[in-house]
């Protein structure tokens, strides 16, 4: 009978890099502004607040001058950099390299699509910080789709280039790709292969976790998935676990654990999102062990 943490869970490179940059700056100067939550995990945001990190939104950014502001891993649209120049702000840019590469690809594609009256479509969550940064490369003209119903926004008589938010589900992306291809073939009379280009821009640090969690979820009687409720990556990965193990539960902290979920002798697997700190999963594990229903591996 064991309680074990999935050591492949926890921060991806981009989030870890951004938090390290923030902590280094606060250690030197005591405080730092951050444009939006540095990570979609309230527990970690609270920990960093106590170190001096102050979260601001885009409206507040307009009123800040002569200060340092952290750009988180999600990246930002061009307008943020213009505001920084106008307000004499020093940006500590922790944009994830994978996100920056995607932004550059989207901008280049948008410029090319203008010549053929084409459309850039982003498979992602509307309002998500990364999606805001990506659509900013298209002057806000990219079409955001999340569900099959959102495909009604697309003009299928015109060429389409599809990208994905880096943290979306691989399965979901390829489903949307197939639907768009089928609709174009039906509705565009002179449809050719060049009328539709699909770019799988999902981060492999994220997508590789899906098959791993598929296996991990089967190895335990009960799965405790730890993630911030605002994390789209967390929801996607939790659903992977739930698909393999119906006794999978989503929590933000150990305070949300329910004793009736557990039965004496259960083996427990603990995992989380790319925005879940390892210290939080360890705290959840210690709490479960304190129930004295379990023993740790020798």
Contacts of 149 (CB under 8 A, 6+ apart): none
Q: Is 139 left (phi over 0), alpha (psi -120 to 50) or beta?
A: left
CA distance 225 to 296: 19
Q: Is residue 187 flagged as an active site residue? A: no
Q: How many CA atoms lie within 13 A of 54 on its CB side?
A: 12
Smallest Cα–Cα separation from 246: which of 267, 223, 268, 266? Answer: 223
Is 217 in contact with 245 (CB distance < 8 Å)?
yes
Is 189 in contact with 156 (CB distance < 8 Å)?
no
Smallest Cα–Cα separation from 94: which of 107, 78, 110, 76? Answer: 76
Chain centroid to Cα 178, Å, comes to 23
Catalytic residue among 130, 187, 256, 263: 130
Catalytic positions are: 130
């Amino acid at each position: 009978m064991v309680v074990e943490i999935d050591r492949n869970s926890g921060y991806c490179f981009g989030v870890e890099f951004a938090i390290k940059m923030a902590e280094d700056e606060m250690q030197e100067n005591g405080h730092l502004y951050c444009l939006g939550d540095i990570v979609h995990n309230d527990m970690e945001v609270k920990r960093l607040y106590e170190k001096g990190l102050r979260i601001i939104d885009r409206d507040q950014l307009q009123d800040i001058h002569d200060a340092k502001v952290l750009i988180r891993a999600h990246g930002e649209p061009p307008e943020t950099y213009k505001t920084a120049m106008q307000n004499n702000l020093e940006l500590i840019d922790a944009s994830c390299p994978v996100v920056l590469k995607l932004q550059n690809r989207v901008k280049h594609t948008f410029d090319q699509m203008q010549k053929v009256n084409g459309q850039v479509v982003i498979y992602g969550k509307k309002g998500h910080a990364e999606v805001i940064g990506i659509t900013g490369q298209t002057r806000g003209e990219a079409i955001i789709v999340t569900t099959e119903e959102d495909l009604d926004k697309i003009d299928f008589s015109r060429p389409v280039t599809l990208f994905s938010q880096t943290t979306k589900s691989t399965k979901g992306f390829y489903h949307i790709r197939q639907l768009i291809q089928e609709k174009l073939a039906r509705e565009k009379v002179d449809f050719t292969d060049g009328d539709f280009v699909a770019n799988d821009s999902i981060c492999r640090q994220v997508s590789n976790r899906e098959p791993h969690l598929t296996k991990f979820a089967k190895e335990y009687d009960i799965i405790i998935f730890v993630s911030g409720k605002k994390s789209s990556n967390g929801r996607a990965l939790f659903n992977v676990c739930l698909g393999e193990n119906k006794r999978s539960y989503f929590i933000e902290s150990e305070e949300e654990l329910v004793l009736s979920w557990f039965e004496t002798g259960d083996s427990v697997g603990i995992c989380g999102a790319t925005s879940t700190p390892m210290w939080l999963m360890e705290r959840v594990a210690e709490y479960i062990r304190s129930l004295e229903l379990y023993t740790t591996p020798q």
